[in-house]
Amino acid sequence: MRMMNYKLRITNLENRQLRNYALSLVLVLLSFVSFSQVKSSIDSTKIKIGQQITFKIEVETKPNGLVVFPEGQTFSPLEMIESYAIDTIKNTDKYSLIKKYGLTQFDSGKYTIPRQKIIIGDKTFYTDSLKVEVNNVVVDTTKQGLYDIKPIIEVKEKGSDWWKYLLLTLLIIGAVGFLMYWFIWRKKPLTEAEQIALLPPYDRAKLALRKLDESHYLETESIKEYYSDLTFIIRKYLDEKVYDRALESTTDELINRLKLLKEGNQIELSVEDIKNLESILKRADLVKFAKSAVDVELAKLDRKTIDIEIDHVKEALPEPTEEEKLLDEQYREQLERKKKRKKIIITVVIGVFLLMATFVGFGLKYGFSYVKDTIIGHDSVELLEGDWVTSAYGVPPVTISTPKVLSRIELPLPEEMKAQVTQTTFIYGTLLDVFSVMVNTNSYKNMGENKIDVEKASEQSLKGIEAQGAQDIVVLRDKFITPNGAEGLKTYGTLKIKNPISQKILEGNYVLLQFASENVLQQIMMTYPVNDEYADQIIARILNSVELKKAEE
Q: Residue 233: what are its φ and ψ, rounded to 5°?
A: -65, -50
- Do both 124 and 201 map to the same domain? no
- 13-17, 158-162, 167-171, 270-274: lowest mean pLDDT where? 13-17
- Do both 291 and 420 map to the same domain? no
**Residue-level pLDDT at 328:** 64
Q: Which helix (H) or strand (E) holds 42?
A: strand 39-42
Calpha distance 466→20 (Å, rounded) = 11
**Residue-level pLDDT at 416:** 67
Residue 539 lies in a domain: yes
Q: Which helix (H) or strand (E) holds 379?
A: helix 379-385
pLDDT of 382 over the 80 cut: no
Where in the sequence is the domain holding 276, given as residue range(s)?
192-318
**Residue-level pLDDT at 301:** 92
Which is higher by pLDDT, 322 or 27?
322
- Do both 540 and 442 map to the same domain? yes
Most confident of the following: 317-326, 367-376, 456-465, 498-507 = 456-465
Q: Tell me: the pLDDT tens digits for 7-45?
A: 444 445 455 555 555 545 443 332 232 333 688 899 988
When divided into structural domains, the chain yields a total of 3
Give the torsion through C-alpha atoms of 322, 323, 326, 332, to 10 deg: -120
The mean per-residue pLDDT over the stretch 305-311 comes to 90
Confidence of residue 88 (pLDDT cuts 50, 70, 90): confident
Say which CATH number the domain at 537 has. 3.40.1000.10
Residue 341 lies in a domain: no
Residue 15 lies in a domain: no
**Residue-level pLDDT at 101:** 92
Q: Tell me: the pLDDT tens digits for 183-239?
A: 777 777 767 776 777 788 888 888 999 998 888 888 888 889 998 999 999 999 889
3-state class (DSSP) for residue 2: helix
- Do both 309 and 445 map to the same domain? no
**Residue-level pLDDT at 54:** 92
Looking at 135, 153, 176, the residue that finishes a domain is 135
pLDDT of 486 over the 50 cut: yes
Residue 205 lies in a domain: yes
Q: Tell me: the pLDDT tens digits for 419-429?
A: 777 888 898 88
Which is higher by pLDDT, 362 or 33?
362
Q: Residue 528: what are its φ and ψ, rounded to 5°?
A: -160, 160
The mean per-residue pLDDT over the stretch 338-344 comes to 84
Chain mean pLDDT for the chain:
79
- Do both 398 and 478 map to the same domain? yes
Say which CATH number the domain at 76 has. 2.60.40.10
pLDDT of 159 over the 60 cut: no
